[in-house]
Amino acid sequence: MALSPSSSAQQARQVLAERLAGLCRDAGLTGREIAARCGWHPSKSSRIMNARTPPSASDIRAWCRACDAEDQTVDLLASLRYAEGMWIGWRRMEQAGLKQAQEARLPLFERTRRFRSYSSWLVPGLIQTRGYTEAVLRAVQRRRVEVDDVPGAVAARMERQSVLYEGGRRFAFLMEESVLRNGIGGADVLVGQLGHLLTVGSLPHVSLGVVPMRADRSRMPVEGFWIFDTAQANVELVSGYLTITQPSEIAMYADTFAELAESAVYGVNARALVTAALDALR
């Protein structure tokens, strides 16, 4: 069953809408009166209060003025930024280049102690080689980013990998077997990457699982995702970057991770799949 990763963002928008509706009630105003004071069509205030249309920053400022509640503006603008941040399209996230997007995630990685990552497309960034990272980010840049700062973005991702070797953290990586054979960057790059997986998989605080390709799977592949402690999950989709903070939704991803983990092989058996992929390239 496909997950529905958008309700965290929707709930954040709903909370903001309810706060705006509360200001309206506290001011003794109707939605039509708010719209009139703001110079809007009467239906606009209704759409905002029912979370059907997200307000802009200027809408919030006008709303607070209309309700004589301008002391609430800063807090409501912060709520708006939070709601908008739940879902960020790649164009917006990467408008200043890939380096900034890579650096923005570093604080999240630094404060996390338990990492869970499932990948159905690519080797997870924390365990990529420099050559593999460069191939991945170069492909991303060519497809959707005008700014070419790939060398800086690669350096930022390599710096982020330092958390893998710092104490007090645990890492569980799950990959589909097909990831081992997706040769982005060419055979030489993939050979280096597979060799690195064998090294990383031997670290005592790292669990490396591979979900084998077979005809009788009980759990279908899903979109790749990360779970950071129990506080947040992130999903990279074709259209953008999703941040999930609702406990019920994080639990859905945790349950999915556990189900996929049961289908994976580890240790000697995982190394055998990586070695087989290496042998096929040599």
Reported as a single tens digit per residue, the pLDDT across 163-175 is: 999 989 999 999 9
- Sorting pLDDT into bands at 50, 70 and 90, what band is 5? very low
Query: Measured between alpha carbons, how far is residue 139 from residues 82, 88, 96, 274 in Å?
Result: 30, 20, 17, 24
With a cut of 80, say whether residue 81 has pLDDT above it: no
Query: What pLDDT is stored for residue 8 in this prediction?
Result: 65
- Sorting pLDDT into bands at 50, 70 and 90, what band is 239? confident
- Residue 58, amino acid: S
With a cut of 80, say whether residue 240 has pLDDT above it: yes
- Sorting pLDDT into bands at 50, 70 and 90, what band is 2? very low
With a cut of 60, say whether residue 3 has pLDDT above it: no
Reported as a single tens digit per residue, the pLDDT across 96-129 is: 999 999 999 999 999 999 999 999 999 999 999 9
Query: Measured between alpha carbons, how far is residue 110 from residues 61, 127, 128, 132 in Å?
Result: 35, 16, 18, 23
Query: What pLDDT is stored for residue 93 in this prediction?
Result: 87
Query: Measured between alpha carbons, how far is residue 219 from residues 75, 233, 236 in Å?
Result: 43, 20, 20
With a cut of 70, say whether residue 7 has pLDDT above it: no
With a cut of 60, say whether residue 279 has pLDDT above it: yes
Other beta carbons within 10 angstroms of residue 230's beta carbon come to: 12
Helical ranges in the chain per DSSP H: 7-26, 31-38, 42-49, 57-66, 73-86, 90-93, 98-104, 106-111, 130-144, 150-160, 187-200, 247-263, 267-281
Contacts of 270 (CB under 8 A, 6+ apart): 201, 208, 209, 210, 264
With a cut of 90, say whether residue 13 has pLDDT above it: no
Reference 58, options 77, 34, 79; nearest CA is 77
Percent of the chain whose predicted confidence (pLDDT) is above 70? 97
With a cut of 90, say whether residue 54 has pLDDT above it: no
With a cut of 50, say whether residue 4 has pLDDT above it: no
